[in-house]
Structure 1
Amino acid sequence: MKSYLTSITKQFKYYKGLGDKTFVQLSFEELQNEIALDSNSISIIVKHMVGNMLSRWTNFLSEDGEKEWRKRDLEFEDSYTCKAELLDAWEKGWQCLFDAITPLTAGDLERIIYIRNQGHTITEAINRQLAHYSYHVGQIVFLGKVLKGKDWKSLSIPKGGSAKYNEEKFNKSKERKHFTEEL
């Protein structure tokens, strides 16, 4: 279970990093671009993720994960006035998450916490949020790629680069390590 906590922290950092690398490539106007009627811009997705993170991870061991102060419907209205404001909110949400999970021990993982009065073990709650955030980060990356088109800089193995990547990996000795350690 100790390896689970280490791994999950690395996974969350990985997905945060994908978002970070996407934001670097985009202007504020691109972050606000709703590519279709009634779709969510990257800015709106970020606002929703931040709202969710602050609600789920603030006092998550002692309070329900859906806070009374959260106004979820307002998360889908873009109110950021500049890229710096969006990035500050993004960092605040992730910091709340990392502050909550960093002190956890293996003995905590079977404790029950609540989200909308539904009991979850801490492991289940973490897995739920990892799936939720990776889903939205995938949307952010996809939208970034669509918006940048040919100017997009790949965040993983670029098209046509698999053989070279695999050759580099298989020329190394086998070792146990998390895939994010080389990124």
Structure 2
Amino acid sequence: MNDNYLGSVIKQMEYYKSLGEKAMSQLSDEHFVIKLNDESNSIGTIVKHIWGNMMSRWTDFLTADGEKEWREREAEFDNDLSTSADIMRHWEEGWKCFLDALNSLGSQDLDRIIYIRNEGHTVMEAINRQLAHYPYHVGQIVFLAKLLAKDPWQSLSIPRGGTKAFNVEKFNQEKRRKHFTDEN
């Protein structure tokens, strides 16, 4: 059961990483730093925050508190990453740290207690916390990208008007066990 859990979480997180990348690939450099108003964050800022969280939470996560002393969370919300290349470097570094940590785990680790700001979590609870947090921000990135991208937007899921054909294709296949992120 727990090995299935880890495999499923890793696939889901890789899927959300891919969604963010597909959305951001439809943007020009200037789109990465646009803020819609004073209270909103640019895509670059959202990426910087995800990166900071991933680096802090998942570096030495089994032995050190997930809120590292070196993390500068407030600075994560400064809109100071100016190029898509720099933003994508942060994106890749954060996701690598997180996914490497997940891939290092075995089912025996899921009940271990780790700390985030001195609050104990099982490893599974910490993973679940991030399984909600990171896709939340990826959703923000996708939403902003859809607003900012030039037409035509390349759908990241079933395109409008395509549900019937998609369902026909799926129901013409044999029933089988597979993860929703697996392609055919």
Pairwise TM-score range, normalised by the shorter structure: over 0.9
Q: Shift in Å at residue 81 of structure 1?
A: 2.9
What one-letter code is carried by the residue in structure 2 that aligns with 1:116? R
Tell me the distance in 1 between the aligned counterparts of 2:37 and 2:162: 32
RMSD: 1.1
Tell me the distance in 1 between the aligned counterparts of 2:76 and 2:158: 33
Tell me the distance in 1 between the aligned counterparts of 2:152 and 2:44: 20
Q: Shift in Å at residue 37 of structure 1?
A: 2.5
Structure with the larger helix share: 1
Tell me the distance in 1 between the aligned counterparts of 2:18 and 2:71: 26
Aligned residues: 183
Stretch of structure 1 that moved more, 26-35 or 55-64 = 26-35
1:167 equivalent to 2:168? Answer yes
1:77 equivalent to 2:102? Answer no
Give the corresponding residue for 1:134. Answer: 135
TM-score, structure 1 length as denominator? 0.97
* 1:77-122 deviations in Å (ceiling 9; x for gaps): 0221311111111000000001111021111100000000110000
1:33 equivalent to 2:43? Answer no
TM-score, structure 2 length as denominator? 0.97
Tell me the distance in 2 between the aligned counterparts of 1:84 and 1:133: 21
Q: Shift in Å at residue 152 of structure 1?
A: 1.3
Give the corresponding residue for 1:7. Answer: 8
Tell me the distance in 1 between the aligned counterparts of 2:28 and 2:67: 32
- Given that 2:33 and 2:82 are in contact with CA atoms closer than 8 Å, whether structure 1 keeps it comes out as no
Tell me the distance in 2 between the aligned counterparts of 1:37 and 1:89: 23
Which 5+ residue runs of structure 1 have no aligned equivalent? none
Which 5+ residue runs of structure 2 have no aligned equivalent? none
- Given that 2:81 and 2:87 are in contact with CA atoms closer than 8 Å, whether structure 1 keeps it comes out as yes
